[in-house]
Amino acid sequence: MKTAFARLRVISRTAAAVLALFAIVPAHADKIRDLAQVGGVRSNQLVGYGLVVGLDGSGDQTSQAPFTTQSLENMLQQFGVNVPSNVRPQLKNAAAVTITAEIPPFAKPGQKIDVTVASIGNAKSIRGGELLMSPLKGADGQVYAIAQGSVIVGGVSAQGKSGSSVQVNISASGRIPGGGSIERSVPTAFDKGGDIMLNLNTADFMTANRVAQAVNSSFGAGTANAIDSATIAVRAPLDPSQRVSWLATIQALDVTPGDAPARVIVNSRTGTVVIGSDVKVGTAAVAHGSIQVTISEQPQVSQPGAFSRGQTAVVPSSQVAVSENGGHMFKFGPGTSLDSIVRAVNQVGASPSDLISILQALKESGALRAELVVI
């Protein structure tokens, strides 16, 4: 009997320890690597200019895009082919294009990157074309990659002799998977020593404070300091190999981010409305209706009397009617939540445009306790 009580006591202690362990884990915690980016560790944009050849008559019209012919002549001169000055080649199988790419951080020479090719002339399609070797430059004007390869186009277009045409997606741009070869690395300050800066994806003082607390709890007080609502400075070793393992451990820590601000996002073009969970509405009564004006034309024929020598005429007749539909009225109590707002609007059958008008009116009256952002 004593043994059974002893076992029960051990099981109770074990269950309490497991519950305490789960209580320590923060609810809705995210990894630091999902909340912040390392300062200075970023990708860089590249851009270039080139020629796509091998098109089936869908290239640039040289009369309207003379730079295509000039680019081809310059390329031929590099191979010892001189085009007489009084000859203007009529090209149909070539197109001038811009080339864009993104070089990832810590990329090394010889690695491959994807490039995007887009026509800048009047080419109808670059499907099946081949991009000739073209340099890709960074913001400093230096060449960081070389692009070349077959263009893959997701769109298609066709046109008949009568002028009828069909187009699916865009056929004047495409991609070259692995078409760029890195020729130069982009220098970074990651291995220069000093503190590592963690930049939050969404600036928030509470989140910044919790990230600093999580790092200090694991590695000691003073390891991390929140500089502002978006930046946390973390002390790191000077050895680059130790900095990598140090940062990997920090990014794996769990942090519960701060609550999102009460905000309502309204897209006036598409009628999309996004309401945050913390949005509250004060006491307010709302009435919203629509006024409809209908104008109908019913012309009448005026027939002259017999032997009056008159002429038959058409007399215009307009009928104008004004009606007001809807006119529903509903009331919000103090501290109304998101569910109550959506339920009330759905009951009156308000459209997205009506909801936008209601939200703007509530904001003007001071009843909407949230930031209203119209994009």
Task: Reduce the DSSP state of residue 147 to 3 states and report it.
Answer: strand
pLDDT at 301: 67
| pLDDT, tens digit, 9 for 90 and up, residues 216-246 | 999 889 899 999 989 999 998 888 778 888 8
pLDDT at 25: 42
CATH topology of domain 31-39+189-255: Gyrase A; domain 2 (3.30.1360)
pLDDT at 14: 40
Domain spans, the chain: 31-39+189-255, 44-182, 263-302+313-374
pLDDT at 180: 94
Task: Reduce the DSSP state of residue 211 to 3 states and report it.
Answer: helix
Query: Side by side, which strands form the sheet with 196-200?
Result: 36-38, 196-200, 231-234, 224-226
Amino acid at 258: G
Does the pTM surpass 0.95? The reply is no
In whole angstroms, what is the distance from residue 201 CA to residue 30 CA?
13
In whole angstroms, what is the distance from residue 326 CA to residue 357 CA?
15
pLDDT at 80: 81
| Nearest residue to 281 via CA among 335, 211, 356 | 335
In whole angstroms, what is the distance from residue 27 CA to residue 256 CA?
7
Cα 349–Cα 351–Cα 356 angle in degrees, nearest 5:
125
Low-confidence ranges of the chain (pLDDT < 70): 1-28, 62-63, 155-169, 268, 271, 284-299, 301, 305-310, 314-353
| pLDDT, tens digit, 9 for 90 and up, residues 171-198 | 888 999 999 999 998 888 777 778 889 9
pLDDT at 330: 58
Query: Side by side, which strands form the sheet with 371-374?
Result: 272-275, 263-267, 371-374
Kindly state the DSSP code that residue 191 receives in the 8-state scheme: G
Strands 371-374, 263-267: pairing is parallel
pLDDT at 109: 93
pLDDT at 3: 43
pLDDT at 183: 93
Find the helix or strand (DSSP H, E) in which 111 lies: none
